[in-house]
Every structure is written in C-alpha cells, then in structure tokens.
C-alpha cells in the first residue's frame, strides 16, 4: 500500500493539458440552459431555487477543470456539502451530474499529489453527506458512480502515456538506425555510374586497337637491280 501511495505521489502532471476551448463554452451554456429549464418545469423539487442556484453557480468550474483540476474540486465539492447541510438535502437537479467531470479531470490531468488531495476532499464530502441526510443506498450508488469516472480517467491517462512513450521510442530508433551512404548509391558518383559506351567516338575506338605497319611510299625512281 505504501509503495502504491508513493508511486501515485510521485506521478507528474500531464504535460500541456488542453486549455479552454469553444466546446467548454458550449458545455457551460448547455448546462445553464438545462438547469434553468429543469428547475422551472419540475414540480417534485423540495427546494427548486436552492438546487437551481447551486447548479448555476458551480457550472463555471467546467471552464478550468483541465488546467486547475484540484482547485475546481476544492471549490465544487465543499460548496455542495455546505449547501446540503444548510438546506437539509442534496441538490435535486439531474443536471448536477456535470460535477462528475471534475473528478474525471482530476484523475486525467492532475499530478499525483493533486489526485490524492482531491480524493480526500471528495471522500470528506461524501462522508458528511452519509452522516447527515443520505441513506446507505445513495452513498453506495454515489461512490460507485464517482469511482467509475475516476477509473475511466485513469485508464485513458495511462493509455495516452503508453502511446506517447512508444512514439518516442520509435523516433529514437529511427534516429539511431544506420543509414546507407548516399555517395555509394548516387547515380552521380563514380562507383554508381555505369559506363557510357555511346559517348565513345570512332576515332577513340580505333586509337585503342593495334595499328598495322605502314607501307613505304614509292619515290618514283627505278629500283636498282
């Protein structure tokens, strides 16, 4: 157990997490609209105003969940715990399920120290809820759902880490692999150039062959007998 905690504690944060993009703003707007519609239309809510305010106030934590995962967990879960103690029950909107993205982002992008600290905050909130107004079935169900979000984030995190490591190894092997010298296979090099017999002139060809002895020229005088 100690070895596991030490390895988690030493786990670095994921490098270059995705920053706030336009999809985060779309998600925030969708949460606000869905929470407002649900709070206005549902008639079975004990405190619709309380549930709606909590959902609307905590929704902006979605914008910084990847770059500041521990801070967003430290804001959202204590606020819901205090609000539940004051109201006597948990927020009732189904839209509040978006808060599951915070522990997911914590395990997906945070460092080991942030993961341990954020997990302690989440467990403390769940313990307060269990001691106050939640039944055993609700506590078990909530624990299973939160644990599933954490497990999925952990699996995706180490899958991405393994893929990046294999990619680095492939690049390193490509850099260290021996290469064939270009001069040995280049057609412009003397070793790789085939002889061009078409450029040999007839004069050059005849100069390389053996020459016949020349006959003496006649001087025009009669030979002596």
User: Do residues 42 and 48 touch, judged by C-beta distance below 8 A?
Assistant: yes
Which of 40, 189, 17 has its CA nearest to residue 105? 17
User: Do residues 112 and 11 touch, judged by C-beta distance below 8 A?
Assistant: yes
pLDDT at residue 114 tops 50: yes
- In the chain, the percentage of residues whose pLDDT exceeds 70 is 78
Confidence (pLDDT) at 3: 77
Residue partners of 120: CB distance under 8 A and separation at least 6: none
Confidence (pLDDT) at 178: 61
Confidence (pLDDT) at 109: 92
Q: Mark 62-95 as b/e (b = at least 16 C-beta within 10 Å).
A: bbbbbebbbebbbbbbeebbebbeebebbbbbeb
DSSP 140: H
User: Do residues 118 and 73 touch, judged by C-beta distance below 8 A?
Assistant: yes
pLDDT at residue 54 tops 90: yes
Which of 98, 94, 92 has its CA nearest to residue 47? 92
pLDDT at residue 192 tops 60: no
Residue 185 φ/ψ, nearest 5 degrees: -115, 0
Q: What is the mean pLDDT of residues 99-108?
A: 94
The C-alpha atoms of residue 32 and residue 40 are separated, in whole angstroms, by 12
User: Do residues 28 and 63 touch, judged by C-beta distance below 8 A?
Assistant: yes
Confidence (pLDDT) at 9: 76
The two counts, helices (H) then strands (E), for the chain are 9, 0
Confidence (pLDDT) at 91: 87
Which pair of structure tokens corresponds to residue 44? 């079975």
pLDDT at residue 126 tops 50: yes
DSSP 176: H
Rg (CA), the chain: 41
Cα distance from N-terminal residue to C-terminal residue, the chain: 130
Assign 225 a pLDDT band (cuts: 50, 70, 90): very low
Query: Which range among 7-16, 65-74, 153-162, 202-211 has the greatest average pLDDT?
Result: 65-74
The C-alpha atoms of residue 61 and residue 141 are separated, in whole angstroms, by 24
Assign 18 a pLDDT band (cuts: 50, 70, 90): confident
Which of 217, 4, 13, 223 has its CA nearest to residue 112? 13
User: Do residues 122 and 146 touch, judged by C-beta distance below 8 A?
Assistant: yes
By mean pLDDT, which of 58-67, 70-79, 131-140, 186-195 is the weakest? 186-195
């Amino acid at each position: 157990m100690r070895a596991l905690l030490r390895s988690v504690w030493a786990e670095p944060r994921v490098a270059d997490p995705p920053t706030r993009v336009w999809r985060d703003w779309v998600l925030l707007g969708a949460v606000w609209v869905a929470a407002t519609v649900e709070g206005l239309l549902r008639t079975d809510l004990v405190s619709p105003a309380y549930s709606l305010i909590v959902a609307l106030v905590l929704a902006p934590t979605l914008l910084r969940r990847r770059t500041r995962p521990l801070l967003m967990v430290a804001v959202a879960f204590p606020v819901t715990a205090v609000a539940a103690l004051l109201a006597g029950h948990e927020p009732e909107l189904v839209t509040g399920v978006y808060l599951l993205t915070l522990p997911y982002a914590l395990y997906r992008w945070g460092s080991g120290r942030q993961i341990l600290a954020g997990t302690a905050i989440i467990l403390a909130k769940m313990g307060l809820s269990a001691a106050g107004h939640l039944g055993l079935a609700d506590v078990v169900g909530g624990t299973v759902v939160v644990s599933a979000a954490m497990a999925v984030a952990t699996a995706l995190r180490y899958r991405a880490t393994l893929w990046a490591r294999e990619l680095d190894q492939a690049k390193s092997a490509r850099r260290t692999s021996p290469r064939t010298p270009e001069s040995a296979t280049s057609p412009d090099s003397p070793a790789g150039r085939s002889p061009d017999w078409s450029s040999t002139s007839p004069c050059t060809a005849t100069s390389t062959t053996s020459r016949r002895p020349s006959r003496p020229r006649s001087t025009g005088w009669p030979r002596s007998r």
